[in-house]
Amino acid sequence: MDYHYEQTSEVEALDSIYYGDMIILQTEPMHKFIIPIKSEGYEDDGEGLTCELVFTYTAKYPEELPVLEINTDESFDEIVDRDELYNHLMKQAEENLGMVMVFTLVSAGQEWLNEKWDSIQREREEEVLARKRADEEAEMKRFEGTRVTVESFLAWRKQFEIEMGIPAKREREGNNKNKLTGKELFLRDTTLNESDLKFLDDGDAVKVDESLFQDLEDLDISDDEDDKDYVPGQSSDSD
């Protein structure tokens, strides 16, 4: 096999296919060139995956594998694993050993980026939907409230009564209910009755001032018949 011819012919074909994108770094002693690849829609919205495939022919290429390097930026490495892409392309190269393979490898790399980016987009969409569902469920729980059980209700009522001071109020009311009224105390306390009886039985304790009743005979108290027509302030006919 004329390795030089195979290599030169492939480079010319690749330059025609990727015209404007392919960069030839050197031709001697072996061809070395760059072909950038990117996921579909990368240039349209500025989002996606892109990297550079750097190929260097060996003396017996295509019966030997070419040297492959992958140039990426930090954003690429944060999203996907560059080594995973490299291993994928080298596996494709081994399957095509003995044939010019750069176009096949570039196409395989392009397809790999597309699949990875589609997968990333699906994951992002699923995350957005998951957050949306979580927010909706949280909003629904605000309206539904917490399912009430006997235990949770009793615990809630106990805490509520403590916060409202209800136990202390009940205790005060209970104490007030235990207090007796004056009448109840009187009826219950027989010593009060005994003291009254003792007061009445004790003749020496009660003294009457007889002088208050000495002038009662001097009062002119008329009979009821004489006083029926009497009007205060009006003189009688006899006067």
The pLDDT tens digits of the residues spanning 55-70 come to 999 999 999 999 999 9
Q: Say what percent of the chain tops pLDDT 70.
A: 66
Residues 168-187: b if buried by 16+ CB within 10 A, e if exposed? eeeeeeeeeeeeeeeeeeee
What's the pLDDT tens digit per position in 84-104? 999 999 999 999 999 999 999
3-state secondary structure of 28: coil
- Which one-letter DSSP state was computed for residue 189? -
- Which one-letter DSSP state was computed for residue 5? H
What pTM, to 2 d.p., does this model score? 0.56
Supply φ then ψ for residue 160, to 5 degrees: -60, -45
Return the amino acid letter for 144.
Answer: E
Q: What is the pLDDT of residue 239?
A: 47
Among residues 26, 21, 30, 7, the alpha carbon closest in space to that of 51 is found at 21
DSSP symbols for 62-91: TTSPPEEEEE--HHHHHHS-HHHHHHHHHH
Averaged pLDDT in 10-residue chunks for the chain of 239 residues: 94 94 94 94 77 96 96 87 94 95 96 92 87 80 72 83 74 62 63 56 56 57 52 51
β-pairing verdict for 32-38 and 50-56: antiparallel
Which residues sit opposite 23 in a β-bridge? Answer: 34
Domains of the chain: 3-121 (3.10.110.10), 146-177 (no CATH)
3-state secondary structure of 168: helix
Q: What is the pLDDT of residue 157?
A: 83
- Cα separation, 114 vs 116, in Å, equals 5
Q: Say what percent of the chain tops pLDDT 90.
A: 40
